[in-house]
Amino acid sequence: MMESSGDALVLQSPVAKKSASPHHVHEAQGEGGAAAQSYGMRILPITGYSLYLVATIFLVWPDSPLLFSGMTTEAGLAASRYYQWTLLPVYSVSFAFWSLYAWFRPAAKKMLFSIVYAASMVTGALLLLCSLSLESGTSVALLAGVFLGFGLGSLSMTWARIFSIMDFFNSSTGIVASGITAAVLYFILSTLSAHLALWLVIAAFVPIVAVIAPLLIKLNRFDHPAFNHRPSLNKERYAKQLHRLWRPCVYAVASAFVWGLCRSYCAQAASPIELVHYTVLGFLVAFFALIFTWRVFNDRYGFIRSYRVFVVPFMTCALLLPFFGKDFWMLFLSVSSFMFFFAFALILLICCRDADNRNVHPMVAWGLFSSATALASYVFGYLLLSQLIEYLSTAHSIDPSIVMALVYVYVVSLALFVVHHKKTAQKRETQSVVPGEQIIELAKKYALTSREIDVAELLAKGRDVYYISEKLVISINTVQYHCRNIYKKLGIHRKQELIDIFNNEVTTRTGASGARDPHR
């Protein structure tokens, strides 16, 4: 379960809580829901999503060794460049397209969405095979980039829908297991010949993924409240989600930009195979880091706090880039990949949990976030800014490593400044005041203890149990124990009822005070 605790966005660990949300779709299905949660239905999403991630590594990531291995002629290399220059923008924009589509027409129970992206992926795969076999055909490569970019981007949105209808334990473990499996599959494929890996990914992985995702959508019922409303008519609900997510998204977009820029620079000094090896290594470490944080911080872990811990040593490493050689740059590429994919997986989990806990359509926020990160990493970081750095290094004899280090420090510092500045302004504008007199009166009236008074005061200000635990330096279980006692003594069942009691008390005392002194 995701909560907003003060200035840190936190996500409850699946180790701490394995039970499903009360709104979970499968709980309303009786025996059908139990069957859907069987072993086979838990393995199928992991299989499909891991194969999708492998296809993304080979077909979307820039400088893929799979694509470059078969392109030896000048015409073939030109076709490969055209493929990337069309695929990356289309892939980035497709997320925003489906986000806007979900905003006006959720259409959760229709198969049109699945049919469109499946046909697009299969068509793009066939066109790509034709382009690679001909080692020419710029027009064919352009069309392959358009169809595959749209299909793979749309498929990512489908996986967000599928994981959002699962309980938190199954969705989180499924996403992490898929990431680890995808990394292992990549390293296995890298040991094979280029042509065999080519046929396995394009002729086998892509069609399998194009079938598994629609099958899962067909087998699951999308009667969850998150899919049965039109987001454009519930703007306030999504405005609150945006308010909770914009700070971690700023950090994630900055990490994506640095990752794309670092890949573009390292591509000049390393082979495509080395480049992807080091990137997948950071990708793999990111998912193991999620498991580590779940085990160490069993109750919760904070996104923003974790980022601040990581960013200081990484900025130090960035400043050292001009003084070291290729090996240090490749290590830095793994580090930047770790930061980006750690944020990527965590935001996906948060969007899925918002759908389950807050009835928010996952495709809206996930589409905007994915579009922003893809544009920052692939388009601006890899394609555009890399060209600018190359121009500066050739025309003005500026060391590109110095430009890279300065850009990295500037982008990360800008993200930290924007988030800290906005957070401070929001704190000044939105301070919640609960008069101490009302706390004392209610404590006497309902016989609250001193610690229960502290907890009740924070609850009345709208704080969650995680914030209270950190503020009062007590455990989550202790806070929940005090909350139960407070609710029992006040005869209520929800935090909103407690807030209403405080508001009524304030209104009553204000009215009585005004009646006693009408000339005040």
SS3 for 245-301, per residue?
HHHHHHHHHHHHHHHHHHHHHHCCCCCHHHHHHHHHHHHHHHHHHHHHHHHHCCCEE
Which residues have CB under 8 Å from 420's CB, separation 6+? none
More confident: 306 or 159: 159
Q: Token digits for 244?
A: 């909770």
Which residues have CB under 8 Å from 384's CB, separation 6+? none
More confident: 302 or 366: 366
**The residue to which tokens 């389950």 are assigned:** 356
Stretch 484-500: mean pLDDT: 83
Q: What is the pLDDT of residue 518?
A: 40
Q: Token digits for 64?
A: 């893929």
| 0.85 surpassed by pTM | no
Confidence of residue 183 (pLDDT cuts 50, 70, 90): very high
**The residue to which tokens 């899925």 are assigned:** 352
pLDDT in tens, 184-203: 999 998 888 777 887 788 88
DSSP H helical ranges for 135-225: 138-164, 168-190, 194-199, 206-219
**The residue to which tokens 């959508």 are assigned:** 217
Q: Token digits for 347?
A: 């935001």
More confident: 38 or 93: 93
Stretch 110-139: mean pLDDT: 77
Stretch 287-299: mean pLDDT: 72
Confidence of residue 285 (pLDDT cuts 50, 70, 90): very high
Confidence of residue 469 (pLDDT cuts 50, 70, 90): confident
* ∠ CA 8-281-303, rounded to 5°: 0
Measured N-to-C along each axis, helices 138-164 and 206-219 cross at an angle, to the nearest 10 degrees, of 30
Q: Which of 354, 365, 382, 392 is nearest to 266 (CA)?
A: 382
| CA separation for the pair 474, 454 (Å, rounded) | 12
DSSP H helical ranges for 105-137: 112-134
Q: What is the pLDDT of residue 184?
A: 94
Q: What is the pLDDT of residue 13?
A: 53
CB atoms within 10 A of CB 190: 16
Confidence of residue 308 (pLDDT cuts 50, 70, 90): low
Q: Is pLDDT at 436 greater than 80 in this prediction?
A: no
Cα-flanking dihedrals φ and ψ of residue 154, to 5°?
-65, -35
| CA separation for the pair 230, 454 (Å, rounded) | 40
pLDDT in tens, 382-419: 877 777 777 777 777 777 778 778 888 888 888 878 77
Stretch 202-217: mean pLDDT: 81
* Residues 324, 439 contacting (CB under 8 angstroms): no
Considering just the CA atoms, what is the radius of gyration of the chain in Å? 26
According to the per-residue pLDDT averaged within each range, which of 52-61, 191-200, 213-222, 264-273 is highest? 52-61
